[in-house]
Amino acid sequence: MNESPPPAQGSNIEPLARAICERDLRRAGAPEISLAADVDRYWHCVAAQIEACLIDDNSELVPHKLEDGLAAYRDWRERH
């Protein structure tokens, strides 16, 4: 089972990333019954996007290359 990595010490990115993740999963039609588990699984992907400025000030995804998103995720995982 994959567990979410812990957030950076002193960081408040986790609550924001979780909120954006939940919103996006709801938009995509994720079933309510699995929503909490899905957020637990994917919030760190959103956190990586936030840190890489791939999510704008309106909490919306900025168009970017797949490679940029993957690099942001890899970088985030290495640091957390």
Domain ranges (residues) in the chain: 13-79
Say if residue 1's pLDDT is above 50: no
Residues facing 55 on adjacent strands: 61
pTM score, whole prediction: 0.81
Dihedral sign from CA coordinates of 70, 8, 15, 52: negative
Say if residue 63's pLDDT is above 90: yes
pLDDT in tens, 13-42: 999 999 999 999 999 999 999 999 999 999
The answer to whether the beta carbons of residues 76 and 11 sit under 8 Å apart is no
pLDDT classification of 7: cutoffs 50, 70, 90? very low
